[in-house]
Amino acid sequence: MKKLIICIPSLRLGGAAKIALNLCEYFSENDTKVTLLLTGGPEREQVFKDIPNGVDVITFPKHHSSRVLNLFNKILWIASYFKKIKPDAILAVRHDATVPSSIAWRLSSRTGKFFIREINPIRLTLHRNGIMVRMIQNAYSSATGIIANSKDVLASLKEKKWVSENKLFSIDNPVLTKSFYGKVAEVVEDPWLNEPDIPLIITIGRLQKMKAHDTLIKAFKIVRKKVNCRLMIIGEGEEHESLQKLIDSLGLTSSVRLTGGMENPYPFLKAAEVFVLTSVYEGFGNVLVEALALGKKIVSTNCVGGPAYILNQGEYGALVNVGGVEQIAQAILNKLSSLVDADKLVQRGKEFSVEVVGRKYSNVMFAKN
């Protein structure tokens, strides 16, 4: 049996954690012993309830010490598990886990192959102090390989020239799991789901500036003048207060709802007429795949990341300019009044299943050189 360690800061709600768990599901069902090392410490306690059977989850017992001493202790802690488990492969996700894991790997005699999974175009997201950036660069340059989750992320890595191109790989996110469809089927009670004559528009994503929910709200204001519909924004984050003020100021309080975060938003996505993504950039766009899998009409910004690839340049959903409020509004109105070939969308979504993508990860990380 092969052995895989996945290093990630936490399993809090978020796309990176979701994909890590999806990979755990695939590998644990395919002759691999998987261990999750949560490097963020106990204050970042995971909230997922459906960790795949057979996966060991170990949390760094953070000490009350200086940042430097805490990093030193973390490196030694990770290295101890590398030496104990002797993995065939290690996959590090997010920079806060990548840096200490990389150093720990080198301290433990480079046991197994060490891969880093990059989830965002680093030219847009790497806003750290100079020392941290150099540590990230060292981690990348010493790794066995870097796995980018989209062609745009891969292109950003090539621009940095931190790693030779033969160590760079582009593999889609493994989005659709067996459990996804079970979650879709769950019954939820909500008055907005019981009024089919009022179309529901939905978006799912953290309330942060890069998701540009304010653009969607402004576009919805235009849509609402022509069609009696509702907008549900599922997610939590630092922009909640400012978004609620915008909703109130535009007179949309009764037709736009900020729901907060949900472990299972999929019954709401299933009930939606249109799914909209208005991000400024994306690493990939997992929720677009989930919307495709449910045959939903889609409007997305043509932002850096995965949307254009996932929607095949507009074949599977409308692509609009980033920040284009009126264009987004018109695209939503077009979708509300049009028919869609749901089966075609569903088949596209299945191309991003855990089974399909997991095999690609396996072929890269466990390749015999």
CATH number at residue 17: 3.40.50.2000
Q: Are 238 and 163 in a shared domain?
A: no
**Residue 6 above 90 pLDDT?**
yes
Q: Are 134 and 241 in a shared domain?
A: no
* Domain presence at residue 147: yes
Query: DSSP of 102-139, one letter per residue?
Result: HHHHHHTTT-SEEEEEE-S-HHHH----HHHHHHHHHH
Strand partners, 7: 37, 92
The tokens describing 168, both together, are: 């760079």
| Owner of token pair 């396996």 | 362
Residue 189: partners with Cβ closer than 8 Å, 6 or more residues away? none
Give the span between the Cα atoms of 293 and 86, in whole angstroms.
38
Long-range contacts (CB closer than 8 Å, 24 or more residues apart) made by 358-362:
358/22, 358/23, 358/26, 358/27, 358/30, 358/174, 360/171, 360/172, 361/23, 361/26, 361/27, 361/147, 361/171, 361/174, 362/26, 362/27, 362/30
Q: Are 123 and 250 in a shared domain?
A: no
Q: What is the average per-residue pLDDT within 314-341?
A: 97
Q: Of all helices (H) and strands (E), which one includes residue 145?
A: strand 145-148
Q: Are 204 and 163 in a shared domain?
A: no
* Domain presence at residue 63: yes
**Residue 206 above 70 pLDDT?**
yes
How many alpha carbons fall within 13 Å on the CB side of residue 245?
4
- Quick: pLDDT tens for 56-75: 999 998 766 788 888 899 99
* Domain presence at residue 49: yes
Q: Are 201 and 148 in a shared domain?
A: no
Q: Are 117 and 256 in a shared domain?
A: no
Kindly tell me the burial class for residue 241, based on how many C-beta atoms sit within 10 Å of its own C-beta (0-12, 13-18, 19 or more): exposed
**Residue 48 above 90 pLDDT?**
no
**Residue 47 above 70 pLDDT?**
no
Structural domain range at position 232 = 186-350
Given pLDDT bands bounded at 50, 70 and 90, which one contains residue 153? confident
Residue 156: partners with Cβ closer than 8 Å, 6 or more residues away? 121, 122, 123, 124, 148
Whether 327 and 321 have beta carbons less than 8 Å apart is answered as yes
Q: Mean pLDDT in the chain?
A: 91
Output the pLDDT for position 43. Answer: 54
Q: Are 218 and 289 in a shared domain?
A: yes
Q: Are 139 and 231 in a shared domain?
A: no
Q: Which of 133, 69, 62, 149 is nearest to 99 (CA)?
A: 133
Q: Are 152 and 206 in a shared domain?
A: no
pTM here is: 0.82
Q: Are 13 and 105 in a shared domain?
A: yes
Percent of the chain residues past pLDDT 70, beyond the cut: 94
Q: Are 161 and 17 in a shared domain?
A: yes
Q: What is the average per-residue pLDDT within 100-119?
A: 94
Q: Are 64 and 152 in a shared domain?
A: yes
Output the pLDDT for position 367. Answer: 87
Query: DSSP of 33-79, one letter per residue?
Result: EEEEEETT-GGG----S-PPTT-EEEE----SS-HHHHHHHHHHHHH
- Quick: pLDDT tens for 237-285: 999 999 999 999 999 999 999 999 888 999 999 999 999 999 998 878 8
- Quick: pLDDT tens for 80-92: 999 999 999 999 9
* Domain presence at residue 27: yes
* Domain presence at residue 230: yes
Range of lowest pLDDT (10-14, 99-103, 146-150, 262-266):
10-14
* Domain presence at residue 327: yes
* Domain presence at residue 181: no
Q: What is the average per-residue pLDDT within 127-156?
A: 86
**Residue 53 above 90 pLDDT?**
no
Output the pLDDT for position 127. Answer: 63
Query: Could you give the residue ranges of the DSSP H alpha helices within 174-301?
Result: 178-184, 213-226, 240-249, 266-271, 286-293
Q: What is the average per-residue pLDDT within 32-37?
A: 96
**Residue 125 above 70 pLDDT?**
no
Range of lowest pLDDT (49-53, 143-147, 229-233):
49-53
* Domain presence at residue 220: yes
Range of lowest pLDDT (2-11, 13-22, 93-102, 320-329):
13-22
Total domains present in the chain: 2
Output the pLDDT for position 194. Answer: 84
